[in-house]
Structure 1
Amino acid sequence: MGLCHAKPRQTLETQLETEPTTHSSTENSSNFPYYSPSPFHNSSAFRNSPANSSVKFAPPSPAHPIRSLLARRHGSVKPNAASIPEGSEFVVGLDKNFGYSKKLLTYYQLGDEVGRGHFGYTCVAKGKKGRMKGQDVAVKVIPKSKMTTVIDTEDTRREVKILRDLTGHDNLVQFYDVFEDQDNVYIVMELCKGGELLDRILARGGTYSEEDAKAVMVQILRFIAYCHLQGVVHRDLKPENFLFISEDEHSLLKAIDFGLSDYVKPDERLNDVVGNAYYVAPEVLHRSYGTEADMWSIGVIAYILLCGNRPFWARTNSGIFRAVVKADPKFAEAPWPSLSTEAVDFVKRLLNKDYRKRLTASQVLSKFQCL
């Protein structure tokens, strides 16, 4: 079960290739301008996916769903799909003292590792004393040895601040505390035991009804609307970064991983290229973007939920970036012709390359309430 996966900063030239698998049919419903994901049957391609490997592979199938990402979570391939954060200049004698409490082991007993990313890992823990006594929690461990630039330390400090500022929303993993020692920073958070949204999509075999898909998307949109109201852009929205708190079918969905998130003012444009290649908005690649970039990422998630495929795909990251900037998502192939006009329009308005014409989270929520 993945929990929190911090992201590294690296140059675009160091990105790795990923592999797609198969696509199949889905079932329609009229309750929601949305559709259900298609099941994935090519298990051999799933198990043997070279996603995130540094080895070159032969050109893959023209279909492009997301099963290789699940393989990464289960340890069959090395981590990182197509994340695209940038590097920075190395600083000698970098100050890695954050001023956080150094009493982690006084308050928590650390347990097994349950998730790993480029820039850290997550383990379970149990409260020993204080307000979390006797409760299970998740602890994100960020090694200071991997903080080699000022940007790295600023990212860690900002991640903690954003979690503190936003915690309390139902669809956000709750922040409890932060500690440090000579070797690591430890972020103590709510433990989500229901697995990733990506796992749930795949486990259900593409059988999401429109009503169930709406329930998922409304939770994501409520969270993003809250973030944007607080001046926060997440910048790494993808199915792996949403967890269910339990295995119950109607469990709450929680957003995680603010390692790439940032504050942005209404009249401000960000210019650093970060995120995941499959979910990155065109304006991010043009180095001028705001909260609208998150809505594009939600549009990609919506597209995947509806048909099981990524809307933009290529064998290399540079190819993906070209497709994001120049290509249009395909809506002529099944299951799109059988979907409602509202469903197709919903996705198209999120995947509009002109961010000024893209729906906002508040607009989408208002539209849902009118259905």
Structure 2
Amino acid sequence: MGLCTSKPNSSNSDQTPARNSPLPASESVKPSSSSVNGEDQCVTTTNNEGKKSPFFPFYSPSPAHYFFSKKTPARSPATNSTNSTPKRFFKRPFPPPSPAKHIRAVLARRHGSVKPNSSAIPEGSEAEGGGVGLDKSFGFSKSFASKYELGDEVGRGHFGYTCAAKFKKGDNKGQQVAVKVIPKAKMTTAIAIEDVRREVKILRALSGHNNLPHFYDAYEDHDNVYIVMELCEGGELLDRILSRGGKYTEEDAKTVMIQILNVVAFCHLQGVVHRDLKPENFLFTSKEDTSQLKAIDFGLSDYVRPGKALRLYAICKLRFQNLETSICLYALTIAFADERLNDIVGSAYYVAPEVLHRSYSTEADIWSVGVIVYILLCGSRPFWARTESGIFRAVLKADPSFDDPPWPLLSSEARDFVKRLLNKDPRKRLTAAQALSHPWIKDSNDAKVPMDILVFKLMRAYLRSSSLRKAALRALSKTLTVDELFYLREQFALLEPSKNGTISLENIKSALMKMATDAMKDSRIPEFLGQLSALQYRRMDFEEFCAAALSVHQLEALDRWEQHARCAYELFEKEGNRPIMIDELASELGLGPSVPVHAVLHDWLRHTDGKLSFLGFVKLLHGVSSRTIKAH
């Protein structure tokens, strides 16, 4: 929300910076509702209708451009930054241009800055002129001027600015707050207006978490929208990093990461993805070293909803009635468990690979957190290039370096933690709750594992699986290490099992309702409870819960995955692997008559005895999906 001190804007440059050459402070843009801080900017493109801004300086360099100078110059609000950036060289040539190569053109169209011949066909409401005819009435209170006295400006962005203010009267008279002012004249499209509505709705719903600034209210008059928030006077996380010479010790980095991961886990549980996590968007409440960290700027945030799978299933059932219900529903719930977002938004150095592929969900936030902790620990960006398109290619193809100092001197747990957050496959990336369960963090005093939305997604898939796959998952769960079981034990305990150590649908409902905000109530509770209805008439003990809630994809990301899989297969062999015909296996998996079962399943069985092969066992753990079928 840009509640932090402003920094001057500088012009963009695609020139290659020398190791100690000055760089501009910002090169990026945000939509109208996203920021009021001159450096707190991002890129946003979409395939939706509309345009947002008359210009686009594009992406900003990472805060790490300050870090490798031997002496970190003090930043002045009156001058451009003269700090330096490390020049990172890759060991192999850049791959071909990324899918994001057309971002400039799309961004220009969305922001209404299309030049002649730069875009042949405007998209939808992009043809609108200056917001003429748009309804800019939000229904917010119009009493701002009577309640608050507006003070000095403390931050400015492309679509608004932030001012200090104080209460004029009442119990809070004289108390200071931060006010984000968004001029209605900047809202030239329906998208811009909807962004403001959504930002206020999300802030109102999520307010109350320790690591979110208190939201007071939203107001409007003829000219502006005013969002009144808690004033955080401790500065940005970026400023603290700089004051420490560019990096944190492991212990201090843990303290920061615990707070970041807690608020991210909370947002994800409610069905909200932030989409612009970076050091500039975390503020300290005071100048004290022990002050709380608060996440700000929800202008790019959005909801991810689990209803898309059900809608697609209904469509497929009508159109393809020869497909059996089980395989259709299973494939769709695996592939479309959450509604996928497709706007390319965020800040270049923090944007996740799947965002550039225009299909992503909450996992994109975790990637951004991984970039932040990489910077905290070593003072350098994990991905760097001379141009924005080069940055995208690096994010998509390059691997972060863990060979240069100080990485060899850091703990193996710290390196593993960062690597598991920066996995390019979002399915293999840790969730925020899992990250808080990681050995690097879990023993810290303030580290408490919150409820993880992934548990319910995995349970939903498990309950719809065949008995054969459930048996395979139970075998795999018996190979989990103590560290891997720690997370599952914490999640099981949060569901408050009965005295006999079992849970039911009522336990899940009760646990979710305790954590629910209006955001969750609007988008998650009904769908999740409906999709877990199989637990309504039975109970699940911890052993089965481990099988239901483990992630095969995340285990695959571990170096010891082969050992896990082999041990699990040995257990499966002893506990019930039996001869099975392909047709029987197809029936067990729910494959309908229209599926080429022999082509799909021919390598799942051993030809010698007809039992499930190791390859078949591993594929069974992943389940039959639409991808499996399409491959044949």
TM-score (normalizing by structure 2): 0.49
Single out whichever of 274-283 and 205-214 deviates more from structure 2.
205-214
Q: Which residue of the partner structure matches residue 79 of structure 1?
A: none
Structure 2: how far apart are the matches of 1:311 and 1:294? 16
Pick closer, same or farther for the CA change 1:308–1:358 going to 2, 3 Å. Answer: same
Q: Which residue of the partner structure matches residue 143 of structure 1?
A: 183
Secondary structure at the counterpart of residue 369 of structure 1: coil
Q: Which residue of the partner structure matches residue 41 of structure 1?
A: 71
* Contact 2:366/2:432 (<8 A) preserved: yes
* Contact 1:8/1:85 (<8 A) preserved: no
Find 1:121's aligned residue among 161, 164, 170.
161
* Contact 2:281/2:296 (<8 A) preserved: yes
Aligned 1:1-371 pairs, distance under 5 A: 1-2=4-5, 5-6=35-36, 15=58, 18=61, 21=65, 24=68, 41=71, 43=73, 49=81, 62-63=87-88, 87=110, 89-91=126-128, 92-130=132-170, 132-206=172-246, 208-266=248-306, 267-367=338-438, 368-370=441-443
* Contact 2:177/2:228 (<8 A) preserved: yes
* Contact 2:44/2:346 (<8 A) preserved: no
Q: Which residue of the partner structure matches residue 72 of structure 1?
A: none
Residue 145 of structure 1 aligns with an amino acid whose one-letter code is: A
Deviations 1:298-352 (A, max 9, x none): 0000010011111111121111111100111111111111111111110010000
Secondary structure at the counterpart of residue 113 of structure 1: strand
Per-residue deviation at 1:210?
A: 1.7
Identity %: 66
Q: Which residue of the partner structure matches residue 512 of structure 2?
A: none
Structure 1: how far apart are the matches of 2:182 and 2:244? 33
Pick closer, same or farther for the CA change 1:292–1:18 going to 2, 3 Å. Answer: closer
Per-residue deviation at 1:243?
A: 0.4
- Across the aligned residues of Structure 1 and Structure 2, the Cα RMSD in angstroms comes to 2.9
Secondary structure at the counterpart of residue 118 of structure 1: coil
Deviations 1:267-318 (A, max 9, x none): 2110111111110000000000000000000000001001111111112111
Secondary structure at the counterpart of residue 266 of structure 2: helix
Per-residue deviation at 1:119?
A: 1.6
Structure 1: how far apart are the matches of 2:60 and 2:232? 30
Structure 1: how far apart are the matches of 2:70 and 2:361? 34
Structure 2: how far apart are the matches of 1:289 and 1:232? 13
* Contact 2:42/2:346 (<8 A) preserved: no
Pick closer, same or farther for the CA change 1:154–1:207 going to 2, 3 Å. Answer: closer
Over alpha carbons, which structure has the higher Rg? 2
Pick closer, same or farther for the CA change 1:177–1:346 going to 2, 3 Å. Answer: same
Which runs of at least 4 in structure 1 moved beyond 6 Å after TM superposition? 44-47
Residue 442 of structure 2 aligns with an amino acid whose one-letter code is: Q
Structure 1: how far apart are the matches of 2:43 and 2:86? 30
Structure 2: how far apart are the matches of 1:167 and 1:40? 41
Higher helix share: 2
* Contact 1:192/1:245 (<8 A) preserved: yes
Structure 2: how far apart are the matches of 1:260 and 1:124? 23
Residue 41 of structure 1 aligns with an amino acid whose one-letter code is: K
Higher strand share: 1
Single out whichever of 195-204 and 122-131 deviates more from structure 2.
122-131
Secondary structure at the counterpart of residue 274 of structure 1: strand
TM-score (normalizing by structure 1): 0.82
Pick closer, same or farther for the CA change 1:210–1:171 going to 2, 3 Å. Answer: same
